[in-house]
Structure 1
Amino acid sequence: MATKKASTSTETKKTATVTKAAEPAKTPAAKTTTEKAAVKTEEKKTTVKAAEEKKAPAKAAAKKTTAKKTTAKKDIKVNAIVEYYGQQMDEKTIVANVKKAWTKSGRKVGEIKTMDLYIKPEESAVYYVINGVDTGAVALF
């Protein structure tokens, strides 16, 4: 019989809540309900923002570690020498000759963004393309 009493008490609670819901909402009670809903949505927003902020520093830290790895590598020093029939010319001298020809044509070395060199020892010449547009040639030896 104890089970029957428990079930009837829960039934009366259910009916009591149903009748309360059926009644028109009073103004103060309605405000508290909307305020509670607003607080819950704000809590959700702050939780989402906090989660995003936690992720952002982790991503930034990952980027910083990769940057450290690339800066740790040292540049390789290259010394290129062109040798043809017993004559030698190193890379620095070739670049200096091209820059000298560039300035003789009335331009400044600071204007050079890119420099492509085509070395043809059989013609004893270095052909160059500066900034992808201007071309010319200088003597190799």
Structure 2
Amino acid sequence: MKMAARRTAVKEAAAAAEEKTAKTAKTTAAKTEKKTVKPAAAKVEAEEKTVNAAEEKPAAKKAPAKKAALKETVILQFAGRETDYADVMKKVKEYWTKELKKKVGDMASVTIYLKPEEGKAYFVINGDVTGSVEL
């Protein structure tokens, strides 16, 4: 009896598979019919688009959108005091221009070492000029 039940299940599965295949074939055929366009009509439409495009003036290209610059802030907090990077850099530039009598444009590189326990920022400008400023 188990064998008969298996045969029936196999026959039902085969019938379901055939039915599904038939439905898929009908759907595919229907989609293909909808997509088929008369070649002459398609050719005429393509030619009209080409002529219209040639007659129109080329549109002005839009400039790429500029991304907003990232605003960075570095704040050092130590022993109840607070100093930010912009203030330290401003003091280093003042030292460069007022003490050393040089132009800010002559600064190629700046390395700053913060020593909050001493209340100072030590710096190296262009690899050879050193100094310090108060935090």
TM-score range relative to shorter protein: 0.3 to 0.5
TM-score by length of 2: 0.48
